[in-house]
Structure 1
């Protein structure tokens, strides 16, 4: 189901769905107990959106057990209370990790802290202001990874919903289904919606660097690290919705024009230091850093000229 089909169904928001009970969800697992997929749902002050994210993950239809790890980074609105309510309704599926101190502001990585509680062979991500619209998303990605042992992770397309205007666009408009590489992640524009990520937990546990929480683009850092260990498969299906300019999100923050470029330079410098033995990746990273610095310099020059 894509966003147009989802919207035309009359369920303009996932929270409007009639959710199954915990017993009904677990009935499809056929008595299996070992967790196959851990869903890490991270949130901070997303009271207006969090129930859509929860409904999207709870609507998943699978023949295997999954768990939902709710990591809230000390929200000060009503997000925490909503999470507590769902945790009570789904005690066997939901693991609440509710912080009293905000770790992101102290250089921590909320997603990584949440993932420390994961037990599944695979991990799927959803942020609190995004949501899934395909109830077969987990099943499809799980089957692909099981059938393709060389894949480190897979992802898919998404619809972009612009908060405020209601406009909807495709996240990717010219990207075909297929395998992509570290080189694509470094040199292409961002093409992986965070809520589409599905990866092998063992690789992340083994390869996530110590500085992971220090970088702003933590999703891209994770993707690059995973891609160094195996294949990346992109499926051109819009199975989730990315909210652009959601209240409290990074996309809604008004930053100076060069801030994003500067943060990318910092990320790629750290990657270069982490993987010095991979010369072919270093070449691509050096090329990108050079290009980012040129763009950064041009922006500063234009600002000075327009003084």
Structure 2
């Protein structure tokens, strides 16, 4: 009988031929004494991405690390959804591990003991559902400094209310390991694909079933130079409306337990959208986006782009 993996590593990728090898190698060098499956979902890449993946899979001779490849025959992108969201959902549904780790195809891990440390932590702390770490940012093949990240110089622990109060996940997607609770709780991914961002609702759901912990260590690198923002095909008003709908889902899913905090966030968004529409001032738009770039998953480049293209 096939031994089920303890960890499922989900990698979603599209046209990442310049980065995918680094991503996969960061997973293959993990020093572990348990089984893992590496689920790679390629969203019908048009470059050499799939060939690189197949080559690395063929070279792997570690019996503790197996691959499951999901090469979509056509691109699943839909203008209604965040690019890559349907690919992500498809991969998540395949995950058989007790734990799930995430790493996009253009990001990579830099700690060969990442999985071991995180599995040990969750095994030793059953009241935690998710853990992650600090992360580095890479742009144009160079590590850059980010003032926001540099200020985060300590361990972080959050519950659901604290997560909502900050409304900024101190954990990047590429750093996380979490319990695979989705079958047990009967979670449907139907609504998830409509959300304007993926990490906030995913981490919030997990925080309902346990606390969130961040190691005070750097375990991964986020590639900031890749264009994958929701702003490429969506207007500010559409993003904000989808964000409001996402908060409605979070409110309903938590059975109104955090209604006060969620309604406050929705009121804040509505008031500022109304203010921007009334003033039609590019400076105010810029300040609004800058203030909310984390919650809207915007880079500084996105903020500038949207401000310049704001129709007065």
Q: Is the 8 A contact 1:46 1:128 kept in 2?
A: yes
1:289 corresponds to 2:259: no
1:145 corresponds to 2:118: no
Alpha-carbon offset, residue 203 of structure 1: 4.0
Residue 98 of structure 1 corresponds to 71
1:298 corresponds to 2:275: yes
Alpha-carbon offset, residue 190 of structure 1: 3.6
Alpha-carbon offset, residue 264 of structure 1: 2.2
Moved more, 166-175 or 116-125: 166-175
* Whole-Å separation in 1 of the counterparts to 2:183 and 2:217: 25
Structure 1 counterpart of 2:27, from 57, 75, 91 = 57
* Whole-Å separation in 2 of the counterparts to 1:255 and 1:116: 27
With normalisation by structure 2, the TM-score equals: 0.78
How many aligned residue pairs are there?
273
Question: Aligned with 1:104: secondary structure?
Answer: coil
Q: Is the 8 A contact 1:257 1:299 kept in 2?
A: no
Any residues of structure 2 matched to 1:5-154 within 5 Å, and which? 33-90=3-60, 93-105=66-78, 107=81, 109-154=86-131
Q: What's the CA shift string for 1:64-107, capped at 9, x where partnerless?
A: 11111111111112111111222222376111111112223275
* Whole-Å separation in 2 of the counterparts to 1:168 and 1:136: 24
Alpha-carbon offset, residue 116 of structure 1: 2.2
Moved more, 134-143 or 209-218: 209-218
Any residues of structure 2 matched to 1:195-274 within 5 Å, and which? 195-203=174-182, 206=185, 208-209=187-188, 210-246=190-226, 248-250=227-229, 253=232, 260-274=239-253
Alpha-carbon offset, residue 44 of structure 1: 1.1
Decide whether aligned partners of structure 1 residues 102 and 185 sit closer, same or farther in structure 2, where only a CA change above 3 A counts: farther
Gaps of 5+ in 1: 1-31
Any residues of structure 2 matched to 1:154-169 within 5 Å, and which? 154-163=131-140, 167-169=144-146
Alpha-carbon RMSD across the aligned residues, in angstroms, is: 2.7
Decide whether aligned partners of structure 1 residues 88 and 242 sit closer, same or farther in structure 2, where only a CA change above 3 A counts: same
Question: Aligned with 2:280: secondary structure?
Answer: helix
Q: What's the CA shift string for 1:36-83, capped at 9, x where partnerless?
A: 111111101111211111111111111111111111111112111111
Decide whether aligned partners of structure 1 residues 251 and 172 sit closer, same or farther in structure 2, where only a CA change above 3 A counts: farther
Alpha-carbon offset, residue 304 of structure 1: 5.3
1:179 corresponds to 2:157: yes
